[in-house]
A and B are shown apart, each in its own frame.
Chain A
């Protein structure tokens, strides 16, 4: 695949005519930021899933909004970014990679990270 097929989420959203007001919801759903670069196929897959999810719930209701809030709270981020936010030092990151099999780009939630820290670094399980 040529490098031309990789653009930011924002750029793909513009090209595939995703409404600008839908972009934040799109990003929240997949735990990505608008400036994150992805492949075209990857974006198309995400778009299909996003459209499927919006078709199922054309009229957002109160309970679904709550579920969405929970989803936002459990937003997945790349392991490297979460580790940096938690100020984990390099040896600790290396240990977690060995024990969990995560890589820098692996998307995880903060809860998953905390559970791994408790288990493999702090032995608080």
Chain B
């Protein structure tokens, strides 16, 4: 039977051939993300290639990839319009090794290949020179993740014959770095030099994200009148990037919770949201977080201030492969959305044996790197930096017109002359100047002493965030399937939320034939109730099959006092879900369309 004749029915390949499933939308979710290109209408995709073609290479695409990797088969997507940040790409900073006047003279610049491909995202790039010399002799490696992982050693391609010769390296997301060869070609590169720069992701305001969510909510399956089961928001609003504080985080959550509650109150349509917590890693904007504890304190405070059984917040971050096979650190909410889509209603996404995250390599950051800017050293000739261990090649000390840089070898150099001016011991932060500075300040990176270990993960878990754990022999899994519900709420886990939502939806679908019915007499009420109960009966465990979402249920139908004018029947469904075996109650209205 041609599938086009059955819109809303989802085919499934079974042993015997093509099977057609009942029109349940469980597992169908919408991804709302920011991108500078692509349609803003609801688009369905079952393949990452389609998404890449439509929206380009950015956070939206990456999180869709995570979802597909973890088991999603079809995703609805709504793009939130976004614009680049004022400084969307930084000028590369050259970290010179040893004597900086002895080479590394190639002129370097970054930019975009095309204004239509400005979909690059928040990445920290590094290029490390392996062999020095001219364009023809030098080799390099690229890191797409601030030095966590490095690509293979490559030769510089000549992209402009010149003179001068140029070599443009495209970063596969619309951005590039371009080198111009020095007048003395052999002086162009020095082995050990690094070039570092940032590429920002386009950002959507909270208003743009709300607008996209409203569009996602408005979508309904034409047959059943039901919409997406849940919505996953891949990007954070601009406000959180600008100021990562409790007010902005709570404002973001409040918007999502209000959208879900309004939909339930106005249309009796259940939905829930999954979003990401602001990440621990520095956001490169105004940012006061300096330690793991600061980050966890912020999240715990937010969790205490705002709770809802219609919101799930992921705080897990991991080193993940991306659509092009490269490694990147990012929030893993996309995987949680994909696992929910794959899981049966009553199955936890934290089940160790079944809920693998195939594209995860490591939980990250375990001992993250933080930045310190303008730490005052004053006139101290011999002392210790406030934080350690210091990341080699990250230290820059400004002392009036003199700039001291560390060469990665424990020696401080005057950047303009290449003369050794002091030493730095990376492990302790102990520095020593050959001559006392006058009014020095230090910028550097350090590895935090606070580990993102089991105790910190437990704090996040207690605060009802999704978090990641590494199970030896299995790999990386979500710790549990928490909703951001209050401590006493029955909707503390995604499973309970899904089971009740699905029950409400299925009863609503079973009611569809009655919407245009001529009327239900008191005599018909028994048959009406039997019809509405049918999907609940199908969800109930039987002797033959105990792997079902509900243990038992009770449905109570109460015709409204004015049923003959408004056609409303009040429906109360009491469910005992299989996972928690605690009675849950949903009360909602059904319209029979009986009107005089």
Contact = CB atoms under 8 A, between A and B. Distances in A.
A90 B205 contact: no
A92 interface: yes
B213 to A, nearest CB: 8
A98 B214 contact: no
A121 B258 contact: no
B247 A99 contact: yes
B159 to A, nearest CB: 37
Contact of A121 (B205, B242, B257): B205
A121 B250 CA distance: 13
B254 A123 contact: no
Given A90-B262, A91-B259, A120-B239, A98 B251 contact: yes
Contact of A89 (B205, B206, B210, B237): B210
A92 B255 contact: yes
Contacts of B205: 121-123
A99 B205 CA distance: 14
Interface string B205-237: 111001001100000000000000000000001
B238 interface: yes
Contacts of B256: 91
A94 B206 contact: no
Contacts of A89: 210, 214
A98 B206 CA distance: 13
Contacts of B238: 123
B247 A92 contact: no
A95 interface: yes
A26 B250 CA distance: 39
A95 B255 contact: yes
A94 B207 contact: no
Nearest to B253: A98
B79 to A, nearest CB: 18
Contact of B254 (A94, A117, A122): A94
A3 B462 CA distance: 47
B142 to A, nearest CB: 32
A99 B251 contact: yes
Nearest to A92: B210
B296 to A, nearest CB: 22
| Among A90, A91, A95, A117: residue with most chain B CB under 10 A | A91
A90 B258 contact: yes
Contact of B251 (A117, A120, A122): A120
A95 B247 CA distance: 10
A91 B206 CA distance: 10
Contacts of B237: 123
Interface in B175-232: 205-207, 210, 213-214
A95 to B, nearest CB: 5
B266 to A, nearest CB: 10
Contacts of B257: 94
Nearest to B208: A122
Contact of A98 (B210, B254, B262): B254
B265 to A, nearest CB: 10
A123 B239 contact: yes
Contact of B250 (A98, A122, A123): A98
Interface string A90-125: 111011011100000000000000000100111100
B239 A94 contact: no
A91 B255 contact: yes
Contact of A120 (B206, B213, B214): B206
A96 to B, nearest CB: 8
Nearest to B306: A98
B258 A91 contact: yes
B258 A94 contact: yes
A117 B207 CA distance: 9
Contacts of A99: 247-248, 251
A2 to B, nearest CB: 34
Given A122-B207, A123-B206, A95 B254 contact: yes
A27 B206 CA distance: 36
Interface of A: 89-92, 94-95, 97-99, 117, 120-123
Given A92-B207, A92-B255, A94-B257, 11 more contacts: A89-B210, A89-B214, A90-B262, A91-B256, A94-B254, A94-B258, A95-B206, A95-B210, A120-B251, A122-B205, A123-B206
Interface of B: 205-207, 210, 213-214, 237-239, 242, 247-248, 250-252, 254-259, 262
Please list the 6 inter-chain residue pairs (A to B) with the smallest Cβ-Cβ separation, ordered nearest first: A121-B207, A123-B238, A91-B258, A94-B258, A91-B255, A98-B251
23 contacts: A89-B210, A89-B214, A90-B258, A91-B214, A92-B210, A92-B255, A94-B254, A94-B255, A94-B257, A95-B254, A97-B254, A98-B247, A98-B250, A98-B251, A98-B254, A99-B247, A117-B207, A120-B206, A120-B239, A121-B206, A121-B207, A121-B210, A122-B205
